[in-house]
Amino acid sequence: MTLATFDPLDPAFHAGRLGDPHECYARLRAESPVEWNEAASMWTVAKHEDVMAISRDPATFCSGRGVLPTDRARSVAGTDSILFLDPPEHQRHRRLVTPAFTPKRVAGTEPVIRRLTRQLLDALPACEPVEFVDAVAAPLPLLVIAEMLGIPGDDRDRFRIWSDSLIAAATDPDDGDALVAAAELWEYFQAVIEDRRAKPGDDLVSVLVTAEVANEDGGEPLSAAELLGFCMSLLVAGNETTRNLFSGGMLALAEHPDQCALLVADPSLVPTAVEEMLRWVTPVLAFARTATRAVELRGQHIAEGDYVLMLYASANRDKEVFGATGGAFDVTRDPNPHVAFGFGEHFCLGASLARLEARVFFEELLARFASVRLAGDPQRLDSVLMHGLVELPLVLAPE
């Protein structure tokens, strides 16, 4: 593949079926860090420094005209989501949900996360092949976010189908089945919101239903569309990204047994290892912004209205930031200024929750299983947004 044929909107590229994407990213960083991509009709930005600069300048690079890689090719859907808000509206909406993600409240979920993790791990067979995505990586974050949203246990199985459909729709806006399932989720959340209006509880949906957005008149409640956008965003952000962190992290341990052995020998390294897994996997491949004015970046003239795609997966291997070992998986890497959670005002609201879930999960798993081996070929997710695995066959053994 040459840089001229690189297409950031081709799922086959991100799934590695056209070669190693990171070889292409390395050439982009070296030869064309800010490049107009004819195939996708957008700019691609490959270096860590530039991704951070764009992320911290919402006045020049806005979110309101689209943030998903495919938003440029369609009318932006879901614009009532906090993902699509710019200052000052973004800060006012973000403050509504921030209390649900304070360090104290997130830390208070650890017993629940540990209980759910142990239940799933108890069901895993030792020394036998297991399909890890279905057995653990998919259900665990879904159970956690469903708990926070106050979703009844009987409804949680449907949430995985709906959540997967939102990701599929982000990759292929014309996927009819995915759009139908996304509509079903929309209707479900409408019913949940009406229920919480009548009987608010201590869950996250109740917090949103009873909150008010500050304005010149004091405050006003979120509109129905804004509430639905919040719920949809929280489901995907709290489920899909963490699922991909779990599965991608386990694949990294299977492919790097020396690093797995380090964690087994010294469990205090797990928090550092989680940061390296976030960098190495980069669950969200890329997000976009739109230039609000003509601007120059690394000598390239970006016009007002141009779409600019920040390649997080490339930025997280930038040798100017991560040194000569940026292309190696190292669970002792510290510091680790990755951009897996984004940067700036749109830094992932649930980052502390994802970190806690991952820490608890890997602590519990490695206390039981010292050996993680592949039992077949992993199957990667076809997506231009998420770096995930559909199947990950593993054999887990005590030693």
Q: Write the pLDDT tens digit of every residue in 277-288.
A: 999 999 999 999
Q: Read off the pLDDT of residues 248-271 as tens digits, 9 standing for 90 and up.
A: 999 999 999 999 999 999 999 999
Q: Read off the pLDDT of residues 286-309 as tens digits, 9 standing for 90 and up.
A: 999 999 999 999 999 999 999 999
Scan for tokens 């010294």, then name that residue: 266
**Which domains does the chain carry?**
3-397 (1.10.630.10)
Mean pLDDT of 180-193: 87
Scan for tokens 């639905």, then name that residue: 228
**Do the Cβ atoms of 22 and 322 come closer than 8 Å?**
no
Q: Read off the pLDDT of residues 75-96 as tens digits, 9 standing for 90 and up.
A: 554 445 788 889 988 888 788 7
Res. 216: pLDDT tops 70: no
Write out the H or E segment, with its range, that includes residue 130.
strand 129-131
pLDDT of the residue at 88:
87
**Do the Cβ atoms of 9 and 384 come closer than 8 Å?**
yes
Give dist(CA 253, CA 273) in Å, integer: 10
Mean pLDDT of 367-391: 96
pLDDT of the residue at 173:
67
pLDDT of the residue at 239:
81
DSSP 17: B
Mean predicted lDDT score pLDDT of the chain: 90
Q: Give the three-class secondary structure for 388.
A: coil
Binned at pLDDT 50, 70 and 90, residue 375 comes out as: very high
Res. 220: pLDDT tops 80: no
Give dist(CA 333, CA 356) in Å, integer: 18
Q: Interior CA angle at 207 toward 202 and 209, to 5°?
A: 120
Q: Interior CA angle at 231 toward 230 and 236, to 5°?
A: 100
Q: Read off the pLDDT of residues 70-79 as tens digits, 9 standing for 90 and up.
A: 887 555 544 4
Binned at pLDDT 50, 70 and 90, residue 235 comes out as: confident
Res. 39: pLDDT tops 60: yes
- What amino acid is encoded at 231 in this protein? C
